[in-house]
Amino acid sequence: MEVVVCKSYEELSRKAALSVAEIVRVKPDAVLGMAAGSSPLGLYRELIRMHREESLDFARVTTFNLDEYVGLPPSHDQSYHYFMNESFFQHVNIPEANIHIPSGTADDYESFCRHYEELIAESGGIDVQILGIGADGHMAFNEPTSSLASRTRLKTLAKQTIEDNSRFFEKIEDVPVHAVTMGVGTILEARKLVLVADGQKKADAMAAAIEGPVTSMVTTSAIQLHANVEVYLDEAAAAKLKMRDYYDWVQANKPGVD
């Protein structure tokens, strides 16, 4: 795992975006795993800038999003379909047919989730999965106690997640109680993981995920089991890391660094 602590949110977003962009440049038909939420927004803005100013081409890219609220149609302004379109997809040249986001209005969720897994496999698997982290250490909607071998499925949200996300809705009662989410096992099959986190509220969760035990109580801790992980944090999100000096030492002494 490579832990990169940055001076600002803008810096971490830029560095994370460069990592994703490198994969797209080397493999133009790359499969990207996308995450909704506030933390990846800066990464998406930087990818959009590179598309507009540096000819970063997404014409052959395929995407799979991590999750979606159950009960929200794509047109709902708090759905992740809407979020991703507003924040990224409408600004780049990914063909609409190549964009995959879990359905929040499926008739048969068991069949849909099985089909979503099949689509990922048929695409050749995810080359890089972008991740954020919840305040309690969950990734996607894999709440505490989720199996570390879990697959795409219907999940009941924890009360803390509902409370945390209520700021985006008129009232807490409007927050959906269920979501469709990629499982931890699905996420770990991506060839590379890029996790971004910022702010003091994420400090405890990041310390637990990076330096704590691998446990279903902190599902993001499963990234410790992956062979190719990059974590980009700002100073506030890195505040509780015990090995902070080592991470900085590694970055200062990487091959090719003067």
User: Which residues are catalytically annotated?
Assistant: 67, 136, 138, 143
Question: Which distant-in-sequence residues (6+ apart) come within 8 Å of 34 by Cβ?
Answer: 40, 63, 64, 65, 66, 84, 88, 130
Residue 28 token pair:
């133009």
Question: Which distant-in-sequence residues (6+ apart) come within 8 Å of 220 by Cβ?
Answer: 131, 133, 134, 137, 138, 139, 195, 205, 208, 209
- Contact yes or no for 94/58 (Cβ under 8 A): yes
Instruction: For the chain, report the end-to-end CA distance as a whole number of angstroms.
Output: 22
Question: Which distant-in-sequence residues (6+ apart) come within 8 Å of 127 by Cβ?
Answer: 23, 27, 30, 31, 32, 190, 191, 192
Alpha-carbon span 51 to 108, nearest angstrom:
37
Alpha-carbon span 24 to 56, nearest angstrom:
8
Helix, strand and coil percent figures for the chain, each rounded to 5: 40, 15, 40
